[in-house]
């Protein structure tokens, strides 16, 4: 009889009671967000028109390392947490590597990705403050689905602007949002001034995240008791996602191991930060030497080829200026299937950590990510989201290095979501019609050189 344990779970009473805020422990704190008009540092109150007060407070909190998870949120986490920490014996065997590979399976949440960890928290704080409506934008729909479910749970109305091309081409996440009772509007729409402006110039416009953000922000500003919520990039979103790494830390202990390498795919940084920060804490405080690798698409390489600069969070230049690694807010990523990774910038905490050498980044082409995703699916029986395939590809690269050197390294990666609603992408890969995309140095140069004007 085998004694090999495959999955590790925490009992409900062992689910963490606090999130971990790495800002408090960082030797160099991130630079402050700036008001786009005055270029002055923004205060908590400046965010109140748009965000719930507690979330504005969390966003700028650089002193508290531990933030209590509200009991109501923790009770809702119990619907799907703890998520399993899985030893990837199948993948190890398929690769013939001496490495010990573990993954944290966030795909088991009701909406199939990690995004719910923050959606539940954000809607909870809105509800506490008497807010009745929340609004957001979504591309492929992972964040919109998470928000719709969270809004349903707390009895709040959700209005989601979904990029029109996704609304039409990827109907199933729209159906999920509608199943939970959200109002989903294809963007650009005639319901906002921002949408009307786009449509009067170009009636056939297929939409973009930039336009959808503008529409959601406008709705929040013009509707009483309505707040805007965001699924990534901001500090408080990464804070909520640390539930992933905090659980993993306890589960790795159950497995009797500690990771040499921690890997996450990278869109705005929330799932990468979520799995990394609790372990990175021990690098900062206890001299551990774990490596942290963010895996981004080669077609949107902000961490590996972008510049560290103040930039807007959105394409239209409406948001505060954030100090981050960026390709410039006008950078238009190719239409890869990992929609959740098509973002020009990176969260400010991650950007500072990368600048200070606490982590690394790699960029990976789309076909390598799907090739890796298929190896994983066949070996472990889970079809990964196209975004998560980036983390898998980076993990496989590391495991193959171990095969060459014979090292038994412990590799931990985050499986941010499943790909069961992304099968058209797999179809394209299997039929050989999926492309890689090269980003030219000229294109990067052109977009980042525009940024110098902003901050002057
Ligand atoms: C949104 C999303 C991502 C990317 O967002 P991060 O904030 O960088 O984590 C990754 N994986 C999945 C499945 C997603 O839905």
Between CA 134 and CA 120 the distance in angstroms is 12
Between CA 23 and CA 235 the distance in angstroms is 9
Between CA 175 and CA 418 the distance in angstroms is 17
- pLDDT, tens only, 184-198: 999 999 999 999 999
Relative to beta strand 291-297, strand 307-312 is unpaired
The region, left, alpha or beta by phi > 0 then psi within -120 to 50, assigned to residue 105 is beta
Ligand 1 atom at shortest distance from the alpha carbon of 241: 9
Specify the pLDDT at position 185. 98
Specify the pLDDT at position 3. 77
pLDDT, mean of residues 157-180: 94
Has residue 204 got a pLDDT over 90?
A: yes
Mutate to test the pocket of ligand 1, among 266, 387, 417 (most ligand atoms within 8 A of CB): 387
- Global pTM? 0.97
Q: Nearest residue CA, atom 8 of ligand 1?
A: 267
Specify the pLDDT at position 2. 67
- pLDDT, tens only, 324-350: 999 999 888 888 888 889 889 999 999
Ligand 1, CB within 6 Å, residue ranges: 113, 115, 142-143, 232, 265-272, 340-341, 385, 387-388, 416-417
Q: Measuring CA to CA, which residue among 95, 120, 99, 117 is closest to residue 107?
A: 117
Specify the pLDDT at position 340. 85
Mutate to test the pocket of ligand 1, among 340, 350, 390, 417 (most ligand atoms within 8 A of CB): 340
Q: How confident is the model at residue 456 (pLDDT cuts 50, 70, 90)?
A: low
Q: Nearest residue CA, atom 10 of ligand 1?
A: 387
Q: DSSP label at 115?
A: T
Helices (H), 180-335: 193-201, 209-222, 235-255, 270-286, 302-305
Specify the pLDDT at position 1. 58
Ligand 1 atom at shortest distance from the alpha carbon of 341: 4
Number of H helices, E strands in the chain: 18, 15
Mutate to test the pocket of ligand 1, among 114, 122, 240, 242 (most ligand atoms within 8 A of CB): 114
Has residue 406 got a pLDDT over 90?
A: yes
Residue with tokens 């774990």: 290
Specify the pLDDT at position 455. 73
Specify the pLDDT at position 313. 86
């Amino acid at each position: 009889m085998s004694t090999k344990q495959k999955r590790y779970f925490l009992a409900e009473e062992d689910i963490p009671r606090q999130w971990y805020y790495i800002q408090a422990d960082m030797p160099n704190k991130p630079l402050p967000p700036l008001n786009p008009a005055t270029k002055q540092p923004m205060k908590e109150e400046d965010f109140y028109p748009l965000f719930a007060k507690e979330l504005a407070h969390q966003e700028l909190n650089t002193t508290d390392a531990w933030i209590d998870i509200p009991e109501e949120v923790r009770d809702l986490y119990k619907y799907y947490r703890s998520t399993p920490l899985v030893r990837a014996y199948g993948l190890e065997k398929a690769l013939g590597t001496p490495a010990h590979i573990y993954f944290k399976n966030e795909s088991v949440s009701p909406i199939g990705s990690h995004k719910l960890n923050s959606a539940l928290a954000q809607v909870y704080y809105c509800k506490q403050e008497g807010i009745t409506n929340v609004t957001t934008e979504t591309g492929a729909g992972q964040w919109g689905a998470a928000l719709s479910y969270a809004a349903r749970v707390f009895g709040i109305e959700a209005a989601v602007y979904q990029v029109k091309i996704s609304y039409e081409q990827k109907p199933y996440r729209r159906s999920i949002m509608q199943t939970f009772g959200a109002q989903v509007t294809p963007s650009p729409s005639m319901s906002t001034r921002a949408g009307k402006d786009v449509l009067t110039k170009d009636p056939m416009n297929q939409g973009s995240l930039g336009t959808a953000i503008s529409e959601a922000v406008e709705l929040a500003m013009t509707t009483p008791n309505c707040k805007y919520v965001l699924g990534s990039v901001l500090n408080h979103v990464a804070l909520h996602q640390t539930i992933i790494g905090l659980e993993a830390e306890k589960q790795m202990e159950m497995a009797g191991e500690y990771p040499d390498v921690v890997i996450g795919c990278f869109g705005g940084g929330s799932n990468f930060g979520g799995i990394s920060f609790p372990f990175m804490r021990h690098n900062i405080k206890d001299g551990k030497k774990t490596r942290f690798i963010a895996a981004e698409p080669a077609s949107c390489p902000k961490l590996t080829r972008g510049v560290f600069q103040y930039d807007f969070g959105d394409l239209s230049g409406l948001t505060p200026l954030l100090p981050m690694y960026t390709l410039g807010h006008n950078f238009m990523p190719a239409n890869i299937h990992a929609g959740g990774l098509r973002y020009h910038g990176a969260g400010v905490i991650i950007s500072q950590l990368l600048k200070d050498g606490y982590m690394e980044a790699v960029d990976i082409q789309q076909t390598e990510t799907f090739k890796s995703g298929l190896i994983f699916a066949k070996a472990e029986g889970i079809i990964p989201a196209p975004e998560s395939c980036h983390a898998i590809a980076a993990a496989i690269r590391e495991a193959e290095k171990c095969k060459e050197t014979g090292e038994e390294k412990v590799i931990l990666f985050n499986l941010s979501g499943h790909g069961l609603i992304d099968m058209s992408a797999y179809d394209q890969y299997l039929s050989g019609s999926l492309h890689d995309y090269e980003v030219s140095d000229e294109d990067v140069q052109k977009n980042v050189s525009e940024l110098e004007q902003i901050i002057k």
